[in-house]
Amino acid sequence: MITFKSTSLIVPSEATPNGLLPLSEIDQAMQWTHAPLIIIYKPNNNKTIPFSIEKMKYSLSRALVHYYPLAGRLHWIEGGRLELHCNAMGVQLSEAYSEAELDEFGDFTPNGLIQHLFPRIDYTTTSIEEQPLFLVQVTRFPCGGLCVGTAISHIMADGRAAMNFTNAWAKLARGEELGCDEMPFHDRTMLRSRQAPPVRPLSDHIAFTKPPLLIGCSDTKAEQKKETSAALLKVTKEQVEELQKKANQNMVMPARPYTRYEAVAGHIWRCACKVRAGDNCQPTRALLVADIRNRIKPPLPQGYFGNAIFDALTSTCLYADLLSKPLSYASGKLREAIEAVTDEYITSALDFIASQKDVGPLRKNFHIRGYTEAPFLGNPNVYMGSWISLPLYNVDFGWGKPVYVGPGILHSDGKMFIMRDPADEGSLVIALCLQTQCMDSFKEFFYKDIYDL
């Protein structure tokens, strides 16, 4: 289906700083695999997209002058930690052609077919010291459409930092220059522990505690073996407004109204509990992600390039409460979790990570010498990330804005991303993964309960 024409290593077009760049404590706790993203472009009015692989290569090499850490390599050090060598070894760019038409990929649900559109690394045979930190695959389709599939190291950047880089590359590809306010900030010591090393013992931090198990189970092995399916669900502007209305019905004013994310995510959590049909006394938690750029003191520069996100965990709730109480209950629990990520919460978490002799158990990959799946966050729990505020649809390489941007892979039960719908202002798209046995019921309840709650 996919034929590769070329694969190149792209290095910075000018000399860049050489040496070690200290990673933050948050970087050290991140998964060391790569996050895949697909960016889809279609020709406008049957006009041919003015694509040039040489322009893509040259603009990428120029972007790496500013984002030079991406051209480096990671190395293992003591305690399961990593260090970054800024050595300009380069990133990988591949040009590919698809025999299948773009329309054959449907709505770009992150399933097996979509995985042909982004670069992959065999983590079992390639050492981390050899792995590029950013890989891109540009796939051309018979219709003239394009897919820019990227994979960026989780250690290097969170979603906002990754999109800042991708948009900077696209701007250079358009022949424009980067402004002073678009330059990345590379000092990651701002998110290091403020105690070196911590002088006091630290108990387990809530961000690293294990989520509840199914009643009667001592581990997650049986649930992890169950088949999963991915889906993309569209939520219209009217449906979003209806959920916000319901979430805010029981709010004691003058409290700040629940956002569309809080309302939609609360609804998702309830529906997941409903289709999993567990005991009413089943405990469950939701894992969210908080951007801490403006939560830590002093605030981080907006151009901070690295990981500036932190897990926000709800308190443990019961199925019975989530399903019997109004939507405001679930939305309120989500808000409480996000608001708990304060400067004190963040600094205590940084101290906790720094205090660990081995950070391997904290990382999203438990086995640091070989690739493993991320820790199981599924049944009876959910992970709901918000991509609503990310500048996903600003990525214009000179071909116009993309028609779709979304995750390249989603295979962990209970994991979901809430994104903007580019075709309909105010509408949302939810990329989700659930056990296959639950998916059809989830879709039914999700839409039906918007109006029946």
- Is the pLDDT score of 302 beyond 70? yes
The mean-pLDDT minimum among 84-98, 161-175, 353-367, 427-441 falls in 353-367
Gap between the Cα atoms of 332 and 317, Å rounded: 12
- Is the pLDDT score of 371 beyond 50? no
Residue 198 dihedral angles phi and psi, to the nearest 5°: -55, 135
- Give percent above pLDDT 90 in the chain: 83
Structure-token pair, residue 130: 């050899």
Nearest to 241 by CA among 257, 230, 218, 219: 257
Residue 251 confidence class, pLDDT cut points 50, 70, 90: confident
- Is the pLDDT score of 365 beyond 70? no
Structure-token pair, residue 54: 């040489």
Measured in whole angstroms, the distance separating CA 298 from the mean position of its chain's CA atoms is: 25
Q: What is the pLDDT of residues 253-290, one digit of tens each?
A: 657 999 999 999 999 999 999 999 889 999 999 999 99
How confident is the model at residue 195, as a pLDDT? 64
Sequence-distant (≥ 6) Cβ neighbours of residue 372 within 8 angstroms: 365, 366
Averaged pLDDT, 3-16? 97
Does domain 220-452 bear CATH number 1.10.3720.10? no
Structure-token pair, residue 364: 């999203």
Structure-token pair, residue 278: 């567990």
- Bridge-partner residues for 36, per DSSP? 151
Domain ranges of the chain: 2-191, 220-452
The mean-pLDDT minimum among 88-97, 207-216, 237-246 falls in 207-216
Residue 62 confidence class, pLDDT cut points 50, 70, 90: very high
What CA–CA distances, in Å, run from 197 to 202, 262, 273? Answer: 12, 37, 42
Same fold, 2-191 and 220-452: yes
Nearest to 148 by CA among 251, 16, 40: 40
Nearest to 93 by CA among 185, 23, 189, 6: 6
**DSSP 8-state code for residue 68:** G
The count of C-alpha atoms lying within 13 angstroms of the C-alpha of 59, restricted to the half-sphere facing its C-beta, is: 23
Gap between the Cα atoms of 149 and 407, Å rounded: 10
- Is the pLDDT score of 1 beyond 90? no
Nearest to 370 by CA among 125, 12, 5: 125
Scan for tokens 């918007």, then name that residue.
450
Gap between the Cα atoms of 274 and 199, Å rounded: 46
Q: Cβ–Cβ contacts within 10 Å for residue 425, how many?
A: 8
Q: Cβ–Cβ contacts within 10 Å for residue 446, how many?
A: 23
What CA–CA distances, in Å, run from 144 to 99, 114, 400? Answer: 12, 18, 13
Nearest to 406 by CA among 178, 195, 150, 174: 150
What CA–CA distances, in Å, run from 111 to 229, 272, 410? Answer: 8, 20, 7
DSSP assignment of 158-170, as one string? -HHHHHHHHHHHH
- Bridge-partner residues for 429, per DSSP? 234, 419
Nearest to 89 by CA among 103, 111, 115, 70: 70
The mean-pLDDT minimum among 89-93, 272-276, 284-288, 370-374 falls in 370-374
Scan for tokens 């073996």, then name that residue.
225
How confident is the model at residue 425, as a pLDDT? 86
- Is the pLDDT score of 121 beyond 50? yes
Active site residues: 154, 396
- The fold adopted by the segment(s) 2-191 is Chloramphenicol Acetyltransferase (3.30.559)
Helix (H, G, I), strand (E, B) or coil at 294: coil
Q: What is the pLDDT of residues 319-345, one digit of tens each?
A: 999 999 999 999 999 999 999 999 999
Residue 405 confidence class, pLDDT cut points 50, 70, 90: very high
